[in-house]
Amino acid sequence: MSYMGAWRYELAIFFGTISCAVMLGSWLGLTWQLVATVLVGYILWHLTQAYRLLRWLKDSKHRYPPESEGIWGDIFYLLFKQQQRNSRRQHDLLSIISQFKASTAALPEGAIVLGEFGEILWFNRSAKKLLGLSPAKDNGQRLVNLVRNPSFVSYVSKGDYSRSIEFPSSLNNEVILSVNITPYKGKQRLIMVRDVTRISKLEQIRKDFIANASHELRSPLTVISGYLETIGDSVSDFCPRYEKPVQQMIEQAQRMKSIVDNLLFLSKLENVKLSEFNEVVDIAALTETIIKEARSLAPEKQLDIDSKIASNQKLRGSSLELYSAFSNLVFNAVRYTPAHGHIQITWTSLAANSAEFSVTDDGIGIEAHHLPRLTERFYRVDDGRSREMGGTGLGLAIVKHVLERHHSALEIESVINQGSRFSCKFLDDKMVIN
């Protein structure tokens, strides 16, 4: 019966009984007494139903509602349905939570949920193992009080979570942990911790191998170059037909030396920490030196190389590294700009404590799909052209590393056959001195 049907049925019973009481009462001459008796009976019946409802709601043992007529039958039935729906929903939610718990517990990565004050709200089994947390006493504690590694503490408090950090575990120095933070729901944070010891060891082996191989190649190359140059000085006198091959050998030995030197420089950038940025580098003066060298690099091209130094801001960092990065950009512009082209180098103040260095040329340009890969080691747009120009394929990789160490990044804009613009913004107010 629909609830409107039950309601009509209830009203019909009520008015029907009252009408019968009125009719019978007026026949017997006891109208009010009979109507009052019927009303009291009616109210008593409702009170009984309300009591049965209350008892059923209170007593969880009565799974099924009591049987009843009219609107009470409907009320019992609808409440019972709602209860069933709620308990089904609760059951579903509980099973989702227990599935979530089981899957996160099985994760090889440690997962920790931090509350708005950095206190631990929840963590899984791997977090317990990797960071040595204890569910009994560490829940509710601030994580930075338990994991006291300085780089971790500054990473958590800085609020810049665009990158992950790595640091040795305090439980075992040999274990390297990688931590990544994702903020959510305002100030809550999800922390993922991974054991990256194996990857980090492999990475170190790779770095050591390149550094050692380059180092080992350097001495024999120096000897070979030395002898070749001596032979080159007099080859035209005693064996003119070898003049060209010897010249080519000298050039190739020089190229190999440049590659080895660049690899060693890259290894140094990767392995040696930039000792406290206490060198103050005068970028205007550095640019002037680089421009002079660039002009003498390919005088036959008659390039128009000019500079616009609109800032006297200086940079904190390594003058050798900044020279290497900026000169690579300028020398590339010289290499990849045809005769009579234009190159402009700028050093511009963007605001207090921030500035930009840029090199713009109207040379050969680069197709858009190459741009994301240009800073990879040995990535060249055109192998033949790069070699012909004396490139090692390592220049932009060096630029990228140096800029990262100086809290900046390389931006490249280029249009094929129209030219390119390589720029880097220094926005860290600790690095730029006004």
**DSSP string of 353-399, one letter each residue:** TEEEEEEEE-SS---GGGGGGTTSTT--SSHHHHHHTT--S-HHHHH
Q: Is-contact 264 218, C-beta < 8 A? A: yes
79 vs 210 by CB, closer to ligand ADP = 210
| Residue among 377, 305, 315 nearest 337 (CA) | 305
Measured from the CB of residue 303, what is the shortest distance to ligand ADP in angstroms? 12
Residue ranges in 175-234 that form contacts with ligand ADP under rule CB under 6 A:
none
- In angstroms, rounded to a whole number, what is the distance separating the alpha carbons of residues 190 and 173? 25
Question: Count of residues binding ligand ADP (CB under 6 A)?
Answer: 21
- What six digits make up the tokens of 371? 């741009």
Q: Are 318 and 274 in contact (CB under 8 A)?
A: yes
Least CB distance to ligand ADP at residue 180 (A)? 30
Give the largest CA-CA distance in the chain. Answer: 155
Distance, CA of 345 to CA of 38 (rounded, Å): 104
Site string for ligand ADP, 413-432 (x = CB under 6 A): -------x------------
State the minimum distance, in angstroms, from the CB of residue 381 to ligand ADP: 3
CB of 253 to ligand ADP, least distance (A): 17
The answer to whether residue 333 forms part of the interface with ligand ADP (CB under 6 A) is yes
Exactly one of 71, 381, 402, 424 binds ligand ADP (CB under 6 A); that residue is: 381
**C-alpha span between 177 and 168 (Å, rounded):** 6
Contacts by residues 213-217 (CB-CB < 8 Å, ≥ 24 positions apart): 213/263, 214/260, 214/263, 214/264, 214/267, 215/264, 217/256, 217/260
Shorter beta-carbon distance to ligand ADP: residue 282 or 382: 382
Q: Is 357 within 8 Å of 283 (Cβ atoms)?
A: yes
CA–CA separation, 257 vs 248, rounded Å? 14
Rounded to a whole number of angstroms, the minimum distance from the CB of residue 269 to ligand ADP is 14
Cβ nearer to ligand ADP, comparing 169 with 360: 360
Rounded Cα distance between 73 and 65, Å, is 9
Collapse the DSSP code of 113 into the 3-class scheme (helix H, G, I; strand E, B; otherwise coil) and give the result. Answer: strand
126 or 414, CB closer to ligand ADP? 414
Cα distances (angstroms) measured from residue 423 to each of 109, 112, 148: 38, 39, 38
Nearer to ligand ADP, 233 or 383 (CB): 383
Nearer to ligand ADP among residue 152 and residue 336 (C-beta): 336
Based on CB atoms, which residue is closest to ligand ADP, 317 or 395?
Answer: 395
Residue 167's Cβ-side half-sphere holds a number of Cα atoms within 13 Å equal to 18
Minimum distance from residue 419 beta carbon to ligand ADP (Å): 7
| Per-residue x/- track, 342-361, ligand ADP (CB under 6 A) | -------------------x
By CB under 6 A, the residues from 386 to 415 that bind ligand ADP are 386, 391-397
Nearer to ligand ADP, 104 or 420 (CB): 420
Q: Shortest Cβ distance from residue 369 to ligand ADP (Å)?
A: 13
Our measurement of the distance from residue 369's CA atom to the centroid of its chain's CA atoms, rounded to an integer in Å, reads 23
Please, what is the minimum distance in Å from the beta carbon of residue 421 to ligand ADP?
Answer: 9
> What's the angle, vertex CA 128, arms to CA 124 and CA 131, rounded to 5?
125
Region binding ligand ADP by CB under 6 A among candidate stretches 48-56, 215-223, 271-279, 330-338: 330-338
Closest approach, Cβ 391 to ligand ADP, in A, equals: 2
Piece in contact with ligand ADP (CB under 6 A), picked from 175-183, 287-295, 313-321, 377-385? 377-385
For residue 333, give every residue at least 6 positions away whose Cβ sits within 8 Å of its Cβ, in sequence order, or none. Answer: 294, 343, 359, 360, 361, 363, 420, 422
Shortest approach of ligand ADP to residue 192 CB, angstroms? 34
The interface region with ligand ADP, picked from 16-24, 279-287, 304-312, 381-389 by CB under 6 A, is 381-389
Considering only 52, 218, 257, 380, the residue that binds ligand ADP (CB under 6 A) is 380
Q: 265 and 257 in contact (C-beta within 8 Å)?
A: no
> Please, what is the minimum distance in Å from the beta carbon of residue 328 to ligand ADP?
6
* Of residues 69 and 383, the one with the C-beta less far from ligand ADP: 383
Report the interface residues with ligand ADP, using CB under 6 A. Answer: 328, 332-333, 336, 361, 363-364, 366, 374, 380-382, 386, 391-397, 420
